[in-house]
Amino acid sequence: MSNKDYLIQILKENKVFEKGDFTLASGKKSNYYVNMKKAITNPEILSTIAKLITDKISDDNIDKVAGPALGAVPIATAVSLESRIPLLMIRKEKKGYGTSKLIEGELCEGDDVIVVEDVTTTGGSLLKAIHAIQDNGGNVSRAFVCVDREEGAVEAFEDANILLEPLISVNEFF
């Protein structure tokens, strides 16, 4: 089974949403935390997410599926395996050794890429990863996030002419 209701059910069963005082990646304070690292280390949740995203892109001509490090890499990998579309991994910054690449995997000029993420608040870090793909010749018009906190990410993506498609929003969960 792979639908939104089932995803919500298994996220609840695995206590992915935690109450308390938290500082988010965006720097904002929150009284709840979406612990997607806990979710994406669970094979059933990861498989469900991969199937949901693959269903949404099955009629598209996607060349690559990408995920920014760290949280989105397992999601992008699972989608790659489910969809049979090659994988890209986007580093937060270039490493200072080896090939010094920001993007791992083969991105070709003109590739149509979807980008996945675990959680969005404002969408800033995901947009940064998308800009890295665009700066290196890839086209990104769609992105998927497992959980949108509904704090501006969808609107930020609209401003960038990219469709951000949350699998679920926090309001649907609560």
The radius of gyration of the chain from alpha carbons, rounded to an integer in Å, stands at 15
pLDDT tens for residues 111-152? 999 999 999 988 998 999 999 999 999 999 999 999 999 999
Helices (H), 21-144: 36-40, 43-57, 72-83, 124-135
Peptide bond into 127 cis (omega under 30): no
Residue 94 has pLDDT above 80, yes or no: no
Residue 95 has pLDDT above 80, yes or no: no
Residue 100 has pLDDT above 90, yes or no: no
pTM of the model: 0.91
Write down the pLDDT at residue 1: 58
Write down the pLDDT at residue 2: 67
φ, ψ (nearest 5 deg) of residue 37:
-65, -40
Write down the pLDDT at residue 152: 92
Q: To which H or E segment does residue 153 belong?
A: helix 153-159
83 in Cβ contact with 61 (< 8 Å): no
The full set of domains in the chain, from first to last, is 4-173 (3.40.50.2020)
